[in-house]
């Protein structure tokens, strides 16, 4: 069972053990509209919390994704290169962007839980 955390930049991080799977939230994909391109991080890349790590482009805008926590990228969702619309179809599932091995679990305390994130989104609606 994973625990899901959220950032103020509308990224989600599902944590299982020391591995976090990251993507953008339903709210983010709705705001962006049709996703046409995703640039993913290379496996093995080390990142610090809040480093720019990926890019998502839609018909409306391009947005950077930031690393929710520090760690090393262990996997990228290469299927998004061929089918970036997966992000629109299933942002919190098949549309995940990358996985990373979390190097500092205490950084999770800087993220929001589902209740806090729902309140953030409600304030932006």
Question: Would you state the pLDDT for residue 2?
Answer: 84
Mean pLDDT of 3-24: 97
Question: Would you state the pLDDT for residue 103?
Answer: 98
pLDDT digits (tens, 9 = 90+) for 53-110: 999 999 999 999 999 999 999 999 999 999 999 999 999 999 999 999 999 999 999 9
The CA angle 17-97-53, to the nearest 5 degrees, is 95
CATH 1.20.1290.10 holds for 3-120: no
Neighbours of 96 (CB within 10 A): 22
Query: Please, which residues bridge with residue 35 across strands?
Result: 58
Contact 42, 73 (CB under 8 A): yes
Of all residues in the chain, the percent with pLDDT exceeding 70 is 99
Query: Whole-model pTM above 0.75?
Result: yes
Q: CA 125 to CA 117: how far, in whole Å?
A: 12
Q: Is the pLDDT of residue 125 over 80?
A: no
* Mean pLDDT, all residues of the chain: 96
Rg over alpha carbons for the chain, rounded to the nearest Å, is 13
Domain ranges of the chain: 3-120
Q: How confident is the model at residue 115 (pLDDT cuts 50, 70, 90)?
A: very high
Mean pLDDT of 32-37: 96
Contact 45, 102 (CB under 8 A): no
C-alpha pair distances (Å), 71 with each of 18, 33, 51, 55, 88: 10, 29, 11, 18, 26
Q: Is 87 exposed, middle or buried (0-12, 13-18, 19+ CB in 10 A)?
A: buried
């Amino acid at each position: 069972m994973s625990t899901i955390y959220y950032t103020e930049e509308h990224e989600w991080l599902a944590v299982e053990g020391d591995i976090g799977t990251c993507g953008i939230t339903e709210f983010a994909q709705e705001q962006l509209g049709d996703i046409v391109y995703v640039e993913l991080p290379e496996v093995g890349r080390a990142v610090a919390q809040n480093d720019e790590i990926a890019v998502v482009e839609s018909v409306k805008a391009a947005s950077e994704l930031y690393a929710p926590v520090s760690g090393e990228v262990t996997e990228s969702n290469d299927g998004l290169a061929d089918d970036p619309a997966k992000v629109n179809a299933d942002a919190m599932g098949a549309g995940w962007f990358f996985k990373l091995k979390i190097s500092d679990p205490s950084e999770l305390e800087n993220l929001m839980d589902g209740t806090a994130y729902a309140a953030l989104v409600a304030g932006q609606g």
